[in-house]
Amino acid sequence: MIKILDFYADWCGPCKRQTPILEELETEFDGRIKVEKIDVDKSEPEVKTYQIMSIPTLVFLNENNEVLEKLIGLHSKAALSALIEKHSQDE
């Protein structure tokens, strides 16, 4: 299973637009991905660990919690779906 860390903030417009896309993907890829939302204003240790400088940022992790990919900015459903497929095949 791929874990996607969604670094966001409540005041971030692009973050708000990314959320429904991630929710749709989590439903469509049921059991293959898990999205974990991380509020950058409340999660300093994770922000430091993954060196988050901009939001939204998505960090794709494998089952061993190793970083597969890090994306900054708003991304389309098609682009994220393609990355999920790519990383699913790598496992």
- SS3 track for the chain: CEEEEEEECCCCHHHHHHHHHHHHHHHHCCCCEEEEEEECCCCHHHHHHCCCCCCCEEEEECCCCCEEEEEECCCCHHHHHHHHHHHHHHC
Whether omega for the bond prior to residue 56 falls within 30 degrees of 0, making it cis, is yes
In the chain, how many domains are there? 1
Q: Catalytic annotation on 42? A: no
Where does the pLDDT of residue 88 fall: very low under 50, low under 70, confident under 90, or very high at 90 and above? confident
Q: Which of 15, 40, 47, 58 is catalytic?
A: 15
Where does the pLDDT of residue 34 fall: very low under 50, low under 70, confident under 90, or very high at 90 and above? very high
**Residue numbers of the domain that contains 74:** 2-90
Give the pLDDT confidence of 35-71 residue by residue, as tens digits.
999 999 999 999 999 999 999 999 999 999 999 999 9
Q: Which of 12, 22, 47, 61 is catalytic?
A: 12
Partners of 58 in the β-ladder: 6, 71
**Residue 50 has which token pair?**
């993954």
Q: Would the pLDDT of 91 be above 80?
A: no
CATH code of 23's domain: 3.40.30.10
Q: Catalytic annotation on 15? A: yes
Q: Would the pLDDT of 83 be above 70?
A: yes
Partners of 5 in the β-ladder: 36, 59
